[in-house]
Structure 1
Amino acid sequence: MIIITIIVATPIVLIFALVLSSEAIGDWYYSNNQLEMAESSYALSYTFYNNFSSLEKLSISARLLDHYELQVEYLPILLKEGKARLSDVDYNQFLIDYITSLYHVGRISDYKVEYRANLHTLKQTTIGLLPLEPLLYDINATNEDFIWAIEICYELLNGTDNKHVKSVVYSVLFDIYSKLGDDLKAQEMLELSESIKK
């Protein structure tokens, strides 16, 4: 009877121990560059303990693995809970991750809404342009998408006095106008970018 009890109890104890130490196990996997196992461990830890630390580590792992669906699922929670807990740099990076993930999972209208809604947070540095990358490199992007991106660029320009930011925005505008075949406007943007660099 004792042996049967031990046989039945052992797997339960092992599973319980695994759940209890899932974040630490995730840290070990992460430090050994086994990101998928780390991500799974952090997800298990967050599922059972609902702790911010595991949520943040899960989000970082998902970023490194380009697991956009997971980012779309968990980053809104992280951004809500992390507003007062994360540094501005970390918060902005997770915000960019969330916006770009929306694009990658095909939620283009949500991507556009979230990006525009958060421009005030992102406009003072060149990171404000990062969410445009998936759109600019998407071979299926339409002229309408590029026109929307131009509007975003002008909003970024109007929101900053930082010369470096302006120069980079003008460079992006050069690329967009070139994609649209407007060589005259593209040249104007290139000249504006170069004049700021001098």
Structure 2
Amino acid sequence: MNKMKKSCILKYIEIFLTVVEIAITIFLGIVANDIQKNQETISRKSEPLIYEVIGGIKSLQYQIEERPELKIDSYAPVIIVKQGVIDVLKVIKYNGKDLKILGQPNEKMMEKYRLSDNVLEMKVEQNLTDVHNNKLYDYFFVYIKSGDGLEHLDLIYTEINLKKGGKASKPKLKTKIDILDNSNKDLGYLEMMDSYKKIIENIDKILEGELQLY
């Protein structure tokens, strides 16, 4: 009888130790996974930011005051991060007269971006240039602070051609270097780039709320 009790106790101990071993293995696996993720995040944050802008789904539509009969479908701009991390992103609208800082996309969207394949879809209120030669531009600026601490101020725009029923290009990205390119003489493009220059010259004061551009 005593031998049977001892045998049962030993089996219970053996089962308990097996369960404990499994639990410890799972716990260590979770800890190791978290450590790896943290290391990857730290590593990504130290990398220079590289991103591009593509057209997402056709979820935008333009109705131009000068051509009310036209309804032009367009792509929502999508930011795809190729390298590095976006820590801060602020959308700035400025058309040479009125300035509006829209702030960062809501935290739910930013968290989704951080956990996904680094895709951010931007849906921004339209900001159109004047029409010149049947062409105009819808544009906004993005102020980005990347994980490595560097600051970026870039321009995202869509070109809209009113000829042949109207057509919108896929969203395009311009950086500060592109300001030096004077090859495009289109008046709407120049109007947009003039706004870009003014924003760059005053970005610190704008973000600190010291200056409003009108």
- Determine if the TM-score, normalized by the shorter chain, exceeds 0.5: no
Larger % of helix: which? 1
Q: Which structure has more RCO (C-alpha within 8 Å, separation ≥ 6)?
A: 2
How high is the TM-score relative to the length of structure 1? 0.30
